[in-house]
Amino acid sequence: MTSKFDRSQSHRPQSYNNQYVSRDIKDGLRDALPIMAAIVPFGAVFGAVAIDSGLDFQEMLVTSLSIYAAASQYVMIDLMGQSLPVWSIVLAVFAVNFRHVLYSASIGRKMTLFSPFQKACAFFLLVDPQFAASETRAATVGLRPAYYFSYAAVIYITWIASNCVGALFGSLIENPATYGLDFILPLYFTGLVAGFHKRPNFILVLLVSGGVALLTYFTIGSPWHITLGGIAGLIVAAAQSRPPQKNNPEKNNSDRNILENAHEDGTGLEEGTANA
């Protein structure tokens, strides 16, 4: 089982542990702080709703500790109230959480510095903001375990603690809409998406994913807009992609032409290297 997780552990630099840990922890905490403000009201409402719909405190706590996926926890609570068969509740949760398969495939490749055990734990904690922040981190300074887990600790503890507050003092919760807190998560995800604007075909992927998601949302309905919109964007990105240069039989030829023409046409060399 362990060999599947990590094939690159032997590449781990010896100096990793000392050199980066404190900066990674600091950055992880710093990046997680802004969305604490969004999680607290959201989590408190979940705690209150769970108790309201008939779970006792311990059941609510086990739900959040073991599932740790806000949207699907709401779905589960909602369906449990309707006394549906177990399999249909589990299937609905699977549908809401299907996007994580894509997150996992994408971020898993960037966990080269994680041990097998660290990976197993990391995937348990792979919620939406965790994925988005980790992708951003991987694209800038590289994703290391200390960053991942310090960020995760803030989100996980905040989620659980706010659930407990909501469950205990549900009736005292103010309407989060008063301060716009109900809308922080969409804003946060929007900011993160815009941060990926240098990736290939960004605008095209954005328009196709958004368009298909809206179409699905208003026809088939939630939560299918996430998976169908997401997959539509991936298909477009795959269709637009070009084979890497090294598999291109014309490469050697064009390299020679570029070198020959470089002094005449300054753009030739840049074009050759940009796609390499």
Partner 1 sequence: MHDNTYLIILACAVVTYMTRIGGHMILSRFGSPHYRVEAALEAVPTAVLTALVAPSLLNQGPAEALSIIIAGAVALRGSLMMSVAAGLVSLVALRFVLG
61/269 with CB nearer partner 1: 61
When asked if residue 154 is in the footprint of partner 1 (CB under 8 A), the reply is no
Shortest Å distance, C-beta 272 to partner 1: 18
Shortest Å distance, C-beta 18 to partner 1: 28
Shortest Å distance, C-beta 261 to partner 1: 27
When asked if residue 149 is in the footprint of partner 1 (CB under 8 A), the reply is no
Site string for partner 1, 21-50 (x = CB under 8 A): ----------x--x----------------
74/262 with CB nearer partner 1: 74
Interface residue with partner 1, options 108, 116, 268, 272 (CB under 8 A)? 108
CA dihedral 248→253→256→261, nearest 10 degrees, is -100
Near partner 1 in 127-146, by CB under 8 A: 128, 131-132, 135-136
Q: What is the 3-state secondary structure (H, E, C) of the chain?
A: CHHHHCCCHHHCCCCHHHHHHHHHHHHHHHHHHHHHHHHHHHHHHHHHHHHHCCCCHHHHHHHHHHCCCHHHHHHHHHHHCCCCCHHHHHHHHHHHHCHHHHHHHHHHCCCCCCCHHHHHHHHHCCCHHHHHHHHHHHHHCCCCHHHHHHHHHHHHHHHHHHHHHHHHHHHHCCCHHHHCHHHHHHHHHHHHHHCCCCCCCHHHHHHHHHHHHHHHHHHCCCCHHHHHHHHHHHHHHHHHCCCCHHHCCCHHHHHHHHHHHCCCCCHHHHHHHHCC
**CA-based nearest residue to 45, from 162, 178, 128:** 162
Shortest Å distance, C-beta 266 to partner 1: 29
144 Cβ neighbours under 8 A, 6+ residues apart: 16, 20, 24, 113
Interface residue with partner 1, options 21, 164, 237, 269 (CB under 8 A)? 237
> Which listed range, 21-29, 81-89, 146-154, 266-274, lies at the site for partner 1 (CB under 8 A)?
81-89
Near partner 1 in 161-200, by CB under 8 A: 179-180, 183-184, 186-197, 199-200
172/194 with CB nearer partner 1: 194
When asked if residue 252 is in the footprint of partner 1 (CB under 8 A), the reply is no
Taking the C-alpha atoms of residue 100 and residue 90, their distance in angstroms, rounded to an integer, is 15
Shortest Å distance, C-beta 246 to partner 1: 10
Interface residue with partner 1, options 17, 19, 23, 101 (CB under 8 A)? 101
When asked if residue 93 is in the footprint of partner 1 (CB under 8 A), the reply is yes
Near partner 1 in 198-217, by CB under 8 A: 199-202, 205-206, 208-210, 212-214, 217
When asked if residue 11 is in the footprint of partner 1 (CB under 8 A), the reply is no
